[in-house]
Structure 1
Amino acid sequence: MRAKWLVSVGASQILPQGGHVFRDTAMLRHAAIQGHGIALFAMELVTDAIAAGDLVAPFPNMFLPTNNAYYLITRSRRLSAAAGSFIRWVKAVAGASGAGL
């Protein structure tokens, strides 16, 4: 992912070498908060830590586009009030993050 991000921000001449690779985002987040280096995250996973001052987004307007997506699919029948509330919440969160639906 580091190489893709570097290319997306026009820094393809920099070659990422070495470093730790975390397969668990919770461990990566903890290591970044503890000052063990830099990390690439989906903003949704670190917005609270940035707001609290635990992490810094040095390039807040640089994003790596992905093809990842979540799909919200419902039946055509009437939904329960709880299901309707959940769908409204998902749409609000997706809209606030800029992800859209």
Structure 2
Amino acid sequence: MNMAWIFLVTAGLLEVGWALGLKASAGFTRPLPSILTLLAMAASFYLLAQAMKVLPVGTAYAIWVGIGAVGTVVLGILIYGDSANPLRLASLLLVLAGLVGLKFAG
């Protein structure tokens, strides 16, 4: 069960990488960022699939998407200067609360 969670968290972090990679690839017109983005996508999906062998599909998918969404928003703020207004940050906290709730709900 612990390996499934490690796979899931890693898959979520790779999702952050490929989401940011989509921007860096400039619509898949830049070769190196495009290749790295596609590799991160493939690895993320593979690890998600491995985690879903053990974890409930709804929980695994929600956690994967949540890690990707929260990580992408945070890095978008830090790297690209995306908006960090209070409502946006409060919404991120709600997403995090939901992820923690899913983890502990079993």
TM-score, normalised via structure 1 length: 0.30
The structure with higher relative contact order (CA 8 Å, sep 6+) is 2
| TM-score normalised according to structure 2 size | 0.29
Larger Rg computed on CA atoms = 1
